[in-house]
Structure 1
Amino acid sequence: MDIVIVKWIHILSSTLLFGTGIGSAFYLLAATLHGDARVVAPVARFVVRADWMFTATTAVIQPVSGAWLAWRYGLGMEATWIRISVVLYGVAIACWLPVVWLQLKLRDAAQSVAPAEGAGPVPLPPSYLRYFRVWFLLGIPAFLAFVCIFYLMTAKTP
């Protein structure tokens, strides 16, 4: 396979992985701050879908394309920036795995109280707020890990 194509796939998938995470977090946070389960329920449904469509697929593509590029360039785990990137990626994925489960719980909790129609806002249940706090806290180290990985990808030394 052409190295330019694999590099392009690696960069594109890292952008989709990071961008989907940031976008999903922003929309779910904004909807949650609104406080109306009728607003949160559809947003949470779309966040779950986006996570499966974009995050899950690119989370697999990243290590595969990264390992192939490292091999092709003759780099190994002796390159400090690669070792650090792998550890940071592990941290991010370790945070993301419970987030997948939490997003399902958030979606279900919001949907359980959101009527099909009705007047006035519908408050989010306490279970939603408990899950949301953990979801938010797990996002912080994942976000920081990806920011550091992007830096290492661009500032690396051969």
Structure 2
Amino acid sequence: MDYVIVKWLHILSSTFLFGTGIGSAFYLLFASISRDVRAIAVVTRTVVLADWLFTTTTAILQPLTGFYLIRLAGFPVSSTWIRWSVILYALALACWLPVVWLQIRMRALAREAVERNAPLSMTYWRYFWTWVALGIPAFFAFVMVFYLMVAKPA
């Protein structure tokens, strides 16, 4: 029973982690492309909140439940699929950590632009394109982790 509960928590938290990431990226991307400063200010504020509530908690829960499942199932930690899952997860987190900082800064810049009734600064756009560039490898890393978790190739 312990295994089923932990596996359920692992799958559920991965769904929240990936879903929040995809949803946040979608809304922030399209709000930014619209160049509507007020919309961008609202969306960046919401994306930062979603990251703290969902992404942070599930990013911590994933390795905890994952390594516990490895132990419960008796998989060798040296398995290729586990090693690659850990490497890809670390890559995704390495991309996500600067993204958190970028989103916080983008939120502040958007709020300032709304208060001044001005367009977004070039700094916002530099942060935005860096955010996009970091999101692409993180997305593909998570897709590959999902594949490895399901297929468990030798």
Question: Could you state the TM-score of these two structures normalised by the residue count of structure 1?
Answer: 0.93
Matches within 5 A, 1:98-137: 98-115=98-115, 122-137=118-133
Paired residue type of 2:126: R
Q: Report the number of matched residues.
A: 154
Q: Once superposed, which parts of structure 1, at least 4 consecutive aligned residues long, lie more than 4 Å away?
A: none
Question: Could you state the TM-score of these two structures normalised by the residue count of structure 2?
Answer: 0.96
- Kindly report the root-mean-square deviation, in angstroms, between the aligned alpha carbons of the 2 structures: 1.5
Consecutive unaligned residues in structure 2, runs of 5 or more: none
Equivalent-residue separation in structure 2 for 1:88 and 1:141 (angstroms)? 9
Q: Which one has the bigger helix percentage? A: 2
Equivalent-residue separation in structure 1 for 2:153 and 2:140 (angstroms)? 21
Equivalent-residue separation in structure 2 for 1:144 and 1:109 (angstroms)? 29
C-alpha displacement of 1:109:
0.5
Consecutive unaligned residues in structure 1, runs of 5 or more: none
Equivalent-residue separation in structure 1 for 2:69 and 2:92 (angstroms)? 21
> Contact 1:38/1:115 (CA < 8 Å) preserved in 2?
no
Percent identity for Structure 1 against Structure 2: 58
Is 1:156–2:152 an aligned residue pair?
yes
Equivalent-residue separation in structure 2 for 1:157 and 1:95 (angstroms)? 25
C-alpha displacement of 1:115:
3.5
C-alpha displacement of 1:157:
4.2
Equivalent-residue separation in structure 1 for 2:119 and 2:24 (angstroms)? 21
> Contact 1:20/1:55 (CA < 8 Å) preserved in 2?
yes
Matches within 5 A, 1:1-158: 2-115=2-115, 122-157=118-153
